Amino acid sequence: MAWGGVCHKGTSPPPCHPPNSCDGSCAIFLLWFLVCIYSPPCYLNGGTNCHMDRRHQVFVSSTYGDLAEERAEIIQALLELDCIPAGMELFPATTEDAWELIKSVIDDSDYYCLVLGGRYGSVDSAGVSYTEKEYDYAMSQKKPVMAFVHANPESIPVSKTERSDTGRKRLQKFQEKVEVAHHRKTWSTPAELGGLVSRSLVNLRKAHPSEGWVRGRYAATDAMIVEVANLRAQLAEMTASAVKGVDSPAQDIEALASGTDPYKVSLTLQEVGKKETIKKTVTTTWDNILKYVGPALLNECTDEEFYAKLRLCFYHAAEAEFRIKVEYEGIVLPIVVRDQIKIQLRALGQMVPGMKRRAVADRKTYWKLTELGEKRLITAQAIAKPVKAPGPIDTVLKAVLPSGTLQAASSSSEN
């Protein structure tokens, strides 16, 4: 029986046995527990799995005078979602000097919200609006973007639209750039825009989790980070020692069937093209079984994948032993045989249960090859260098020279 569950910070415990059967591995569990207790929630796992008062900062980018009411709706929607809105309301008059401040606020933001109405906005010395500059910078920093475009630009009052042809063309080009890069949504009224922002941000948070901001008492101090690093190092060392112990055979290998020792299974076979079946005892070896299942076990495999490799092993063994073609679909290994093979490989220290973290919904059983099993697989399956056949001169020299002289001379010539 193993400890299960996760700590309040979302990390899974290492494999461990309960205290009443403690074999030293419960010390690993205790150390893991201490790491969870003393690690600040925002320090573990990048802070994305913490259950605390976490607030995301959203940069709202748009022109201001014509979209003041819309921006008010967006800010209200963000506050209702416990987010921190950031935008031009916080900045002084737009100047080249203020641009560095704007970039720093975008850097500190978790998400970026762009709203396009009827105006392109004030431009810099290069003729690019600050709204477009903010968008380009957010894209360069790979910020998750929400984009909203007015559904009916013709209905926007003239006082809230671009009056120059140059401004209208730049706005159109900017809008086309945004529509190519994002699945933008359209809005008609300020209230509708606020609702769209709320729903979009909920989805964006799920698709792109971000660290956000937390209260100072949850933040990691330098001393705490050093302490957690030390605990993690100890945990890694103890876990490695425990895994090495798991890899060791349960008993003396010499007393167990292994390697080239035969393993016989009674199977019902069906020859290709024939309806009747025949009972045969198929013989293979433990090394041969490992040759088939080992490569799949290297990166962990499921019970189903393990069974498929066993079927293939006995399918080939049957054809080679009896020199007949048999139907692969007819190869059925009894459950008792499958379990016996798994137990034997575990007793030999060649296979253990998989330890990789997987989704909670994944209920499959996984197996993996141990270090000992990998060494045995390499020994059994590695291709040996072909032995050079002796020539006529070698045969004569072997007959007249002392034993070992010819081999020593051959080795020195190769070097």
State the CB neighbour count (10 A cutoff) for residue 386.
6
- Per-residue pLDDT reduced to its tens digit, 31-42: 666 656 555 554
Q: Kindly state whether residue 81 falls inside one of the protein's structural domains.
A: yes
Q: Kindly state whether residue 395 falls inside one of the protein's structural domains.
A: no
Task: Please give the Cα distance from 54 to 48 (Å, whole number).
Answer: 10
Query: Is 268 found in the same domain as 130?
Result: no
According to the model, what pLDDT value does residue 362 have?
A: 85
Write the CA distances from 18 to 1, 26, 239, 249, 363, integer angstroms.
7, 7, 16, 22, 22
State the DSSP string of 124-136: -TTS-BHHHHHHH
Q: Kindly state whether residue 347 falls inside one of the protein's structural domains.
A: yes
At 335, which CATH number?
1.10.10
- pTM (2 d.p.): 0.47
Domain that holds residue 336: 255-381
* Look-up of token digits 């193993």: 2
Average pLDDT over the chain, rounded to whole? 82
Q: Kindly state whether residue 391 falls inside one of the protein's structural domains.
A: no
State the CB neighbour count (10 A cutoff) for residue 263.
19
Query: Is 134 found in the same domain as 43?
Result: no
pLDDT of residue 391 exceeding 70: no
Give alpha helix (H) positions in 14-164: 25-38, 68-80, 96-108, 130-140
- Per-residue pLDDT reduced to its tens digit, 339-377: 999 999 999 999 999 888 778 788 899 999 999 999 999
Query: Is 194 found in the same domain as 62?
Result: yes
Q: Kindly state whether residue 67 falls inside one of the protein's structural domains.
A: yes
- Per-residue pLDDT reduced to its tens digit, 204-251: 999 999 988 887 777 667 777 777 777 777 777 776 666 555 555 555
Please state the domain count of the chain.
Answer: 3
126-135, 169-178, 347-356, 384-393: which has the minimum mean pLDDT?
A: 384-393
Q: Which residues make Cβ contacts (< 8 Å) with residue 68, sequence separation at least 6?
A: none
Query: Is 121 found in the same domain as 91?
Result: yes
Give alpha helix (H) positions in 123-255: 130-140, 165-181, 190-207, 222-247
Residue 240 φ then ψ, to 5°: -60, -40
The pairing of strands 57-61 and 262-270 is: unpaired
Query: Is 330 found in the same domain as 236?
Result: no
At 154, which CATH number?
3.40.50.10140
Here the tokens at position 337 are 């045989």
Residue 411 φ then ψ, to 5°: -65, -40
State the DSSP string of 363-375: ---EEEE-HHHHH
Query: Is 117 found in the same domain as 46?
Result: no
Query: Is 159 found in the same domain as 73?
Result: yes
Residue 339 burial (C-beta neighbours within 10 Å; 0-12, 13-18, 19+): exposed
Q: Kindly state whether residue 125 falls inside one of the protein's structural domains.
A: yes
Q: Quick one: how far is CA 320 from the chain centroid?
A: 41
According to the model, what pLDDT value does residue 386 have?
A: 81
Q: Kindly state whether residue 64 falls inside one of the protein's structural domains.
A: yes
Residue 352 φ then ψ, to 5°: -140, 165
Residue 385 burial (C-beta neighbours within 10 Å; 0-12, 13-18, 19+): exposed
Q: What sign does the CA torsion over 301, 303, 307, 308 have?
A: negative
Confidence category of residue 94, pLDDT binned at 50, 70, 90: low
- Per-residue pLDDT reduced to its tens digit, 272-311: 988 889 999 999 999 999 999 999 999 999 999 999 999 9
Closest CA to 319 of 382, 269, 248: 269
Query: Is 271 found in the same domain as 232?
Result: no
387: which DSSP letter?
A: P
CB 319 within 8 A of CB 267: no
Query: Is 23 found in the same domain as 67?
Result: no
Query: Is 364 found in the same domain as 238?
Result: no
Query: Is 185 found in the same domain as 68?
Result: yes
Q: Kindly state whether residue 386 falls inside one of the protein's structural domains.
A: no
Residue type, 147: A
The pairing of strands 366-369 and 351-353 is: antiparallel
Query: Is 302 found in the same domain as 165?
Result: no
According to the model, what pLDDT value does residue 12 have?
A: 47
